[in-house]
């Protein structure tokens, strides 16, 4: 049920220069979802009355991603006044003027902060009936963070930034995570009083905490259970660390749901994936995007599935597939490449060193090895011989090939599209099929074989080949 007394402001205006990337920092992905997408999902899980996202750097790209991820979010632009305090100030401006509830402030680059932690923070804030609540964490190395200074009794006293801290304060391990809950009235009252007269020329949100304490308002700090929960993403090292931690949690969740993961350290699963019971994921497997794997399938080793559907009991080994459908009981690989639009029917086979694209291969049909099948429809229980190519491109356009059911093609065939092979037809080895083949017919394009006796002796005299031939002739005569 929507909490009408709750609003969430997501700070997503930062430039993220330490990522050294043309892509906005918060649009880099974790488990298939942009960093900011994790934050938005957490905000939505709180079910607040309002979610406001403050943007600035690469505004259009960030805003487009936010709209796609959370259409109900309100996007506001931070102006030329820098700082988190100013970001929250413009965020409040997007809330109804009569909103008098609590405001949760989160950063768009803290993807592992979960709704359970924020709910606990909100509960503590409301129980204390204070003006603000700070989410804190205890770090082994607190360098660079503002420290939480507490009184002798353990209650919150103030936040001191590292550059202003005394030697004793620098030894404090509890830090300010940058996540807060404010009573809206207190925040609206104090933000206008925050200045930007500091070394960075920024309007800091932490100054609101100081002002609240100066006026005697109640402020508390609540530490998280694990410090990694509030870890921000500032560079690619931190991105990789967060990705590993999140992936470990995802893998463990699927293991507990009945999926066998042989090597969790080399298995990567995106959040959007769905995996059935008794599926086996072998080492080096990547299950990406909204991939669906049905019960009992075996995937891997060394396999990547991106937005694919895999039927029950199918096997996919050492292969790469994108936007492909693999039917129940079918087998793929090793070393197959399934491009978008591939559909492999029940109990079908796409074998070793086979590439497919925009093709439907019917139930029980096989393309066992060394073939390219593109823009092709193959019926049921057909066998395509080794080295087959559907020549679908004439330098101007793509053309279709249709191969019927119960067809057997010989090795090293080329089907020059557009062409149709009827049900039950056969093609001989080495055939280049340029015309339609009627049902039940045999198509061959093989020229008569001609043996030119003595050619090697006449044209390669003195070579090892000539000597071997002469020795063989002598043996035959004897």
Domains of the chain: 3-230 (3.90.550.10), 236-443 (2.160.10.10)
Residue 474 pLDDT grade (very low, low, confident, very high; cuts 50, 70, 90): confident
Say if strands 343-344 and 337-338 run parallel, antiparallel, or are unpaired. unpaired
Instruction: Report DSSP letters for 56-95, one per residue.
Output: -TTHHHHHHHHHHH-TTPEEEE--SS-SHHHHHHHHHHTS
Residues marked active site are found at: 369
Please, how many CA atoms are within 13 Å of residue 436, restricted to the half-sphere of its CB?
Answer: 9
Q: Is there a contact between 157 and 250 (Cβ–Cβ < 8 Å)?
A: no
| Angle of helix 35-45 versus helix 115-128 axis, rounded to 10 | 50
Tell me the per-residue pLDDT of 276-323, one tens digit each, with 9 for 90 and over.
999 999 999 999 999 999 999 999 999 999 999 999 999 999 999 999
Instruction: Give yes or no for residue 478 having a pLDDT over 70.
Output: no
Tell me the per-residue pLDDT of 24-36, one tens digit each, with 9 for 90 and over.
999 999 999 999 9
Residue 426 pLDDT grade (very low, low, confident, very high; cuts 50, 70, 90): very high
The whole-model pTM stands at 0.91
Residue 212 pLDDT grade (very low, low, confident, very high; cuts 50, 70, 90): very high
pLDDT for 199 equals 65
pLDDT for 133 equals 97
Rounded to an integer, what is the distance from CA 155 to the centroid of its chain?
42
Tell me the per-residue pLDDT of 98-134, one tens digit each, with 9 for 90 and over.
999 999 999 999 999 999 999 999 999 999 999 999 9
Residue 477 pLDDT grade (very low, low, confident, very high; cuts 50, 70, 90): low
Tell me the per-residue pLDDT of 237-249, one tens digit each, with 9 for 90 and over.
999 999 999 999 9
SS3 248: helix
Instruction: Give yes or no for residue 228 having a pLDDT over 70.
Output: yes
200 contacts: CB under 8 Å, gap ≥ 6: 82, 83
pLDDT for 196 equals 74
Q: Is there a contact between 195 and 188 (Cβ–Cβ < 8 Å)?
A: no
């Amino acid at each position: 049920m929507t909490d009408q007394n709750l609003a969430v402001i997501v700070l997503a205006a930062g430039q993220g220069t330490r990522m050294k990337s043309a892509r906005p920092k918060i649009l880099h992905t974790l488990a298939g979802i942009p960093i900011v997408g994790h934050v938005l999902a957490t905000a939505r899980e709180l079910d607040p009355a309002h979610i406001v996202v403050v943007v600035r750097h690469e505004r259009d790209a960030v805003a487009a991603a936010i709209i796609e991820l959370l259409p109900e979010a309100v996007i506001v632009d931070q102006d030329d006044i820098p700082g988190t305090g100013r970001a929250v100030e413009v965020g409040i401006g997007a809330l109804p003027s009569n909103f008098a509830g609590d405001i949760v402030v989160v950063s768009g680059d803290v993807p592992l902060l979960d709704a359970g932690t924020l709910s606990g923070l909100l509960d503590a804030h409301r129980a204390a009936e204070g003006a603000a609540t700070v989410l804190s964490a205890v770090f082994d190395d607190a360098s660079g963070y503002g420290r939480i200074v507490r009184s002798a009794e353990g209650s919150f006293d103030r936040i001191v930034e590292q550059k202003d801290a005394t030697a004793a304060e620098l030894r404090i391990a509890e830090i300010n995570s940058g996540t807060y809950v404010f009573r809206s009235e207190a925040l609206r009252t104090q933000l206008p009083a925050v200045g930007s007269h500091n070394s960075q020329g920024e309007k800091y949100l932490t100054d609101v905490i100081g002002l609240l304490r100066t006026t005697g308002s109640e402020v508390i700090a609540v530490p998280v259970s694990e410090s990694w929960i509030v870890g921000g993403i500032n560079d690619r090292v931190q991105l990789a660390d967060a990705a590993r931690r999140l992936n470990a949690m995802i893998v463990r969740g699927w293991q507990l749901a009945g999926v066998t993961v042989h090597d969790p350290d080399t298995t990567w699963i995106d959040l959007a994936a769905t995996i059935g019971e008794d599926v086996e994921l072998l080492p080096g497997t990547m299950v990406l995007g909204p991939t669906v794997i049905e019960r009992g399938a075996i995937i891997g080793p060394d396999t990547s599935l991106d937005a694919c559907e895999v039927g029950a009991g199918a096997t996919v080994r050492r292969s790469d597939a994108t936007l492909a459908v693999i039917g129940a009981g079918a087998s793929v690989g090793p070393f197959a490449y399934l491009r978008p639009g591939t559909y492999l029917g029940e109990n079908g086979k796409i074998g070793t060193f086979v590439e497919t694209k925009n093709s439907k291969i019917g139930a029980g049909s096989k393309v066992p090895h060394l073939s390219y099948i593109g823009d092709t429809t193959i019926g049921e229980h057909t066998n395509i011989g080794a080295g087959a190519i559907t020549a679908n491109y004439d330098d101007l356009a793509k053309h279709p090939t249709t191969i019927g059911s119960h067809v057997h093609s010989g090795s090293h065939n080329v089907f020059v599209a557009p062409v149709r092979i009827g049900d039950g037809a056969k093609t001989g080895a080495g055939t280049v099929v340029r015309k339609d083949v009627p049902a039940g017919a045999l198509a061959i394009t093989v020229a008569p074989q001609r043996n030119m006796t003595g050619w090697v002796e006449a044209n390669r005299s003195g070579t090892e080949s000539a000597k071997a031939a002469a020795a063989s002739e002598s043996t035959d005569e004897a």
